[in-house]
Chain A
Amino acid sequence: DAMVIQNPRYQVTQFGKPVTLSCSQTLNHNVMYWYQQKSSQAPKLLFHYYDKDFNNEADTPDNFQSRRPNTSFCFLDIRSPGLGDAAMYLCATSRDSQGGYEQYFGPGTRLTVT
């Protein structure tokens, strides 16, 4: 029944060591989003893909990159994680990036940077 799947659920990485988080969906939605959520804060949008079109938020650090090899999968790459990048990373999907389509979220990956 799982619709948006994120792996792993918990990830520990070392300061400066590249890490990749994975998201997959069974909804066949056009749009996939990556959010960063720090403790007691609202989710913050990093970027999203509409099909293969990548849309970066203006304040997303260059350290964060994304790939979407096909409709079902999307990856978040953190090239050189810093201690400030420790957070919950949420993947979401939506049928469209316009209008009233709700976003469906995965369970998140909690990233720890040591």
Chain B
Amino acid sequence: AQKVTQAQTEISVVEKEDVTLDCVYETRDTTYYLFWYKQPPSGELVFLIRRNSFDEQNEISGRYSWNFQKSTSSFNFTITASQVVDSAVYFCARRGSYGGSQGNLIFGKGTKLSVKP
């Protein structure tokens, strides 16, 4: 199976620290899509970002930034100056470009981030 690996099960930081969540994926597809979702304690999965396999530009959105490197099959997520509200489980996911099961989202196991005041 083409897995998504989030090696960090839990991370705990103190507010204002920077934190990077790692994501490594496997794929045989030439075209694919990568996603990050946030799941706060309320339970709803919130879409954060999508990245296409043919666009390796890194992206910054406020305190969030993403580093996509095809050479290492990684799509890491950094939160700068973390805040308590960032406490959540973060899921990295991959999706193929075709239909059927290849179009399914393959999730990593998630990283639980705790930001302490």
Q: Complex Cα distance A97/B104, Å?
A: 7
The count of chain B contact residues (Cβ–Cβ below 8 Å) is 25
Q: Are B43 and A41 in contact (CB under 8 A)?
A: no
Majority SS of interface residues in chain A? loop
- Contact flag A106-B99 (CB < 8 Å), given A42-B108, A45-B104, A100-B50: no
Q: Complex Cα distance A110/B99, Å?
A: 29
Residues of A within 8 A of B101 (CB): 57
- Contact flag A90-B50 (CB < 8 Å), given A42-B109, A43-B107, A99-B97: no
Q: Are A42 and B107 in contact (CB under 8 A)?
A: yes
Residues of B within 8 A of A106 (CB): 44
What 0/1 readout, one digit per residue, does chain B (80-95) give for beta carbons within 8 Å of chain A?
0000000000010001
**How many interface residues does chain A have, given as a range?**
20 to 34
- Contact flag A98-B98 (CB < 8 Å), given A42-B109, A43-B107: yes
Residue of B nearest to A43 (CB): B107
- Contact flag A41-B109 (CB < 8 Å), given A98-B99, A99-B33, A108-B44: yes
9 closest A-B pairs by beta carbon, nearest first, are A42-B107, A105-B45, A100-B33, A108-B43, A107-B44, A98-B99, A97-B103, A102-B47, A98-B103
